[in-house]
Structure 1
C-alpha cells in the first residue's frame, strides 16, 4: 500500500520534456556537461512554473555550491546562452524571468550552418564525380577550358549534375563526344523546360526515332561534317 502511494506521488510530480535537439547538439554550440545541467534545471523550473529560480534553488538540485552555480549562470549570460526578461504583472510590479531564447537561436544558427556545409560537401563530391565520369568517357584528363565549362553548366546555367550526365550519354550514343554538342543539348533542354532524367530520356528517344525515319536519299546527299547542333534537327 505504501508503494502504491509512493508511485502516485511520483506520477503527480509530472515530467519534463527535454528537447532532443538540445541533448544531441549542446556540445556543438559550446556547452559543457555542467553548464548543460544548469540549463536543464532552468528549463525544468520554467516548465514547472518558476521562471526565475535563484542560484540556491538550482544548486540544491545539483552537486555544486550556490557560488559555483552563480558563476556558471554568469558565464551563460556572458556567452549568450541565457537572458533575463522583464514582464509587467501589475503596475508597478515587474517580474523578471529567465529565457533560453538565446540558446535556441544559437542552436538554430549552428544547425542551419551545418546543413549549408553538408550541402556544400555533397555538391563538391558530385562535382568531382562528374569530372571523373567525363574523363572516363573522353578517355583523357579534361582540359582547363573543359573544367571551366563544367563549372559554368552547374553554377551559371544551373544545370543539375544528373542532366549533365544525361546529356553526356546522349552525346556518346550519337557518336558526337565533344563539349559543344553537349552544351547544345543542355541549351535545348533548358529552352524546352526539361528538368528530369525521364524527360531528357524521352526527348533523346524522340530524336533518335526521327533520325531513323529520315529519307535515305537525304542521308546519301549530305557529305559535310555533322555540326554539333544536329541534335536539334527535329
Structure 2
C-alpha cells in the first residue's frame, strides 16, 4: 500500500497478516487485514485489472470493514471508506465510493450522487460490503450497494433488492486504483477486497483472492 496516489512511498498503515475480519483463518495468499488510524489516514494500491466504465461490463466488489472506536464528543471527521479512483489526472476527479459516514450511515457515492442508508452501522461490529457496478459504453451506468451485518446470512444468489443504488449516470473513466481513507478522528479495519464479474465470485470464501497487484 502506498501513502499517496502516484508515489512509491509506503503507506503508514498497520498490516496484521494472521488476523481477519471474516471469522476464518487467513489463506496463504492473503495479506491479512489493514488498520488505518490517526494520524495515518490514507492508503493507495493499484488494481491488477482496472474497472472500465468505457465498455459494456458488470463488476462486483466486496470487502469487510469495521470501525474500531467511536469518539463521543465528535460527530464529524469519523468516516471511513474504500473508493475506486483513476490514476489519470483530471480537472474534476471522479470516484466510486463505499463506506461509513461520520454519523455511521452506510454510504454510496458515484458521479455527483451521495446516498446514505439507515439504520446507522455500529462501532466494533464488522460489516460485509457488496457492490455491483453496471458499466456501459454508450448507455448509462449505475452502482448498487448493500452492507451486511455479522448476523445476516449472505445469500448465494444476487438479491433482487439492494440497500442503496444510484440513479443512472454517464462515466467513461478507467478506475485502476483503490484508496482506503479514514477521517482523522476515526480508526478502521479493512479486509478481503474482492473484485469479480459475478455475485458468487465476491461472496465465495473459497475462490482466489488475487485482485491487487503483487508489488
- TM-score, normalised by the number of residues in structure 2: 0.20
Q: Which has the larger radius of gyration?
A: 1
Structure (1/2) with the larger helix percentage: 1
- TM-score, normalised by the number of residues in structure 1: 0.19
